[in-house]
Amino acid sequence: MANPIVSTHPLVAHKLTILRDKNTEPKKFRELIREIATLLTYEATQDLQTQVKQVTTPLTTTQGQVIKENIGLVPILRAGLGMVQGVWGLVPSAEVWHIGLYRDEKTLKPVEYYNKLPVEPTVSVCLILDPMLATGGSAVATVDILKRWGVKNIKFIGILGAPEGIARLMEHHPEVPIHLAAVDEKLNEFGYILPGLGDAGDRQFGTG
């Protein structure tokens, strides 16, 4: 598997450019996060398994296909929340399981503050949603949580990835596909992605 899988779709590139712009207001920013998440999900779900289902049209009966797997969307709070509606639009039957992590400002290590996963897994595929893959700490911790829960088929859908975060996620979880809109240059000394788009949570929620 080639990793990361970076979208080459012109619509993704166009929307990402507006997303990066420091003058883009939170309302537009949220809209773009949702739209880019939808486009990336279309690409990331190409290998979902289907099963045959008989369907009766107004004229006759034929065989169609329906998605076979139970899908879980796993937004990492807060910034991943903005991706949910876009992905859910494509996969309306998906369950949504929130994971709350924030990065400690000094250590940049993820701190877990919300996890209400039940004991037994209820889904067979998890799509982790988080726009930013910076040091990779949050993504690695979330995959760790989902593997402990018992899920084997896990995909990461982000928007921007730094080389450092991509390398870390691939080192810890090489079988997890990483879907991104772009790979940026590097992290700055505060762990922010350059050129990046700033703080994805603050820009969505107007808290910056």
Written as one letter, the residue type at 191 is G
Q: Is the peptide bond prior to 163 cis by the omega test (within 30 degrees of 0)?
A: no
Q: Which of 43, 69, 164, 199 binds ligand URA (CB under 6 A)?
A: 199
184 carries an active-site annotation: no
Catalytic residue among 17, 50, 62, 107: 107
Residue 156, φ and ψ in degrees, nearest 5: -105, 125
Counting contacts by CB under 6 A, is residue 170 touching ligand PRP?
Answer: no
Report how far residue 208's alpha carbon sits from residue 200's, in angstroms, rounded to the nearest whole number: 9
Q: Which two tokens stand for residue 64?
A: 């169609």
168 carries an active-site annotation: no
Report how far residue 92's alpha carbon sits from residue 106's, in angstroms, rounded to the nearest whole number: 39
Alpha-carbon separation of residue 149 from 34, 128, 146, 174 (angstroms): 27, 14, 5, 18
47 carries an active-site annotation: no
**# residues contacting ligand URA (CB under 6 A):** 9
Residue 138 binds what, of ligand URA, ligand PRP, none (CB under 5 to 8 Å, by partner type)?
A: ligand PRP
Q: Which of 132, 139, 169, 180 binds ligand URA (CB under 6 A)?
A: 132
Report how far residue 3's alpha carbon sits from residue 161's, in angstroms, rounded to the nearest whole number: 12
Site string for ligand URA, 170-189 (x = CB under 6 A): --------------------
Residues that bind ligand PRP (CB under 6 A): 76-79, 101-103, 108, 110, 130, 132-139, 165, 191, 199-201
What residues act catalytically?
103, 107, 199, 202
